[in-house]
């Protein structure tokens, strides 16, 4: 296929992902309601002293929350990335761009990614490519953003549902290992909504991965999104596939203290964030829910959504008797219900 045709197809696919995400109806359960946290009626703390600051990728962040990979490559993506970048700047939280493949060979589409660094300035910006990308591609993607880290996504389920998707997934682990050895910023290996098992996390850790974004089920469902793009087959019976975010998180957090786990997949409210941190997540990523707020109610609604998350994070910290994020991570929790059976 000619390069220009490939570019047009990729650009159309990006737009369709957003449309079909907004239309998607089937959500699996991230199982955060099966994490029980005990209320502390005697916290002996002052709300004004609750400190939500944290560090990520050697920079300070005001909240352990990040805007996770969504988009780039089209005019519409430029606008989405511009608005999300202002939110990242306002709250001093990290932001990851969507896959930069489209921008590797089409310089015009780079603006929709570069706008993120322009707005966020010294803040944390994370690049994004497929885990099958070449080292040359990885270096272009990093330079484009002066990125603080690069996410390499594992999206096997998504590719298999796409007519035009990859079918050969051999050599991915070796490729990731090669990239880690040849770039000088951290590499985050991430799923896109189907979860990382303990076994996969261990195999990644063993080749030198020190950041894993588990991105489990409970939110954006790429089997449904890609399934809706296809007219020749019905994939509804596969919509429930994947590892719930809470389960994936529990499985991966205690593997090694040098392994940083990012919780994402179905994170919607402040309880999901607090529970993720109590389980042991380093930081918590949100994609679908913030995109939905932005498209439903513009910048103001997306801003209000994040503002409420941060405010309620402080409320919940006080209700647990925890004055800072390090303390919060020592909270004991109980696993109940379906999650208990799966752990």
Cβ–Cβ < 8 Å for 274, 313: yes
Confirm if 88 and 67 have CB atoms less than 8 A apart.
Answer: yes
Question: Would you call 231 exposed, middle or buried from its count of C-beta atoms within 10 A (0-12, 13-18, 19+)?
Answer: exposed
132 secondary structure, DSSP code? T
Q: Residue 84 interacts with ligand FNR (CB under 6 A)?
A: no
- Residues ≥6 apart with Cβ < 8 Å to 231: none
Contact between 190 and ligand FNR per CB under 6 A: yes
Q: Does 64 bind ligand FNR (CB under 6 A)?
A: no
Q: Which residue is nearest to ligand FNR (CB)?
A: 219
User: Quick one: which of 217, 289, 243, 234 has its CA closest to 28?
Assistant: 217
Give CA–CA dist 185/148, Å, rounded: 6
- State which residue, 54 or 151, has the beta carbon closest to ligand FNR: 151
- 81/331 with CB nearer ligand FNR: 81
Return the residues of window 274-313 that contact ligand FNR according to CB under 6 A.
Answer: 286-289, 291
Query: CA-CA distance, 294 to 58, in Å (whole number)?
Result: 29
The verdict on 266 binding ligand FNR (CB under 6 A) reads yes
Among 125, 129, 74, smallest CA distance to 99 is for 129
Neighbours of 54 (CB within 10 A): 20
Kindly indicate which of the ranges 35-43, 54-62, 167-175, 212-220 contains the residues binding ligand FNR, using the contact rule CB under 6 A.
212-220
What's the full length of the chain, in residues?
A: 343
Instruction: Determine the size of the site formed for ligand FNR (CB under 6 A).
Output: 27
Contact between 248 and ligand FNR (CB under 6 A)? no
Kindly tell me which residue out of 35, 65, 67, 68 binds ligand FNR, with binding defined by CB under 6 A: 68
265 marked as part of a ligand binding site = no
H or E element in which residue 128 lies:
strand 125-130
322 binding ligand FNR? (CB under 6 A): no
Residue choice 74, 81, 112, 151 for contact with ligand FNR (CB under 6 A): 151
What is the distance of C-alpha 30 from the center of its chain? 14
The span from the CA of 219 to the CA of 21, in Å, is 10
Residue 98 annotated as binding site: no
How far lies 71's CA from each of 174, 191, 287, in Å? 27, 15, 10
Q: Does 242 bind ligand FNR (CB under 6 A)?
A: no
Q: For residue 329, what is the DSSP state?
A: T
Is 292 annotated in a binding site? The answer is: no
Residue 268 is assigned to a ligand binding site: yes
**Under rule CB under 6 A, residue 98 binds ligand FNR:** yes
Does 122 carry a binding-site annotation? no
State the binding site: 13-14, 69-71, 99, 128, 158-159, 190, 215, 220, 266-268, 287-288
State the binding site for substrate: 13-14, 158
Residues that bind ligand FNR (CB under 6 A): 17-18, 21, 68-71, 98-99, 128, 151, 153, 190, 192-193, 215, 219-220, 264-267, 286-289, 291
State the binding site for FMN: 69-71, 99, 128, 190, 215, 220, 266-268, 287-288
């Amino acid at each position: 296929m000619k390069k220009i045709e490939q570019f047009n197809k990729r650009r159309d696919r990006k737009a369709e992902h957003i449309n079909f995400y907004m239309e998607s109806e089937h959500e699996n359960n991230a199982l955060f309601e099966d994490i029980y946290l005990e209320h502390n009626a005697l916290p002996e703390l002052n709300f004004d002293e609750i400190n939500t600051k944290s560090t990520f990728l050697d920079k300070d962040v005001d909240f352990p929350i990040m805007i996770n990979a969504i988009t780039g490559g089209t005019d519409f993506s430029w606008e989405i990335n511009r608005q999300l970048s202002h939110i990242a700047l306002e709250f001093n939280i990290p932001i990851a761009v969507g896959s930069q493949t489209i921008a590797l060979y089409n310089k015009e589409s780079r603006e929709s990614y570069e706008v993120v660094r322009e707005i966020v300035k010294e803040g944390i910006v994370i690049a994004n490519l497929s885990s099958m990308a070449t080292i040359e591609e990885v270096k272009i993607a990093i330079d484009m953003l002066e990125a603080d880290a690069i996410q390499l996504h594992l999206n096997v389920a998504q590719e298999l549902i796409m007519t035009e998707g990859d079918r050969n997934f051999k050599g991915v682990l070796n490729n990731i290992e090669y990239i880690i050895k040849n770039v000088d910023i951290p590499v985050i290996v991430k799923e896109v909504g189907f979860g990382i098992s303990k076994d996969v996390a261990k195999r990644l850790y063993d080749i030198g991965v020190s950041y894993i974004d588990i991105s489990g089920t409970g939110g954006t469902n790429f089997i449904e999104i890609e399934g809706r793009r296809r007219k020749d087959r019905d994939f509804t019976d596969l919509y429930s596939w994947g590892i719930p975010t809470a389960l994936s998180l529990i499985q991966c957090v205690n593997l090694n203290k040098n392994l940083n786990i990012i919780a994402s997949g179905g994170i919607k409210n402040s309880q999901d964030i607090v529970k993720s941190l109590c389980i042991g997540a380093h930081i918590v990523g949100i994609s679908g829910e913030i995109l939905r707020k932005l498209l439903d109610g513009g910048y103001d609604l997306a801003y209000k959504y994040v503002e409420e998350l941060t405010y309620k994070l402080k409320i919940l910290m006080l209700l647990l008797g925890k004055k800072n994020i390090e303390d919060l991570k020592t909270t004991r929790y109980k696993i109940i219900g379906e999650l208990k059976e799966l752990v």
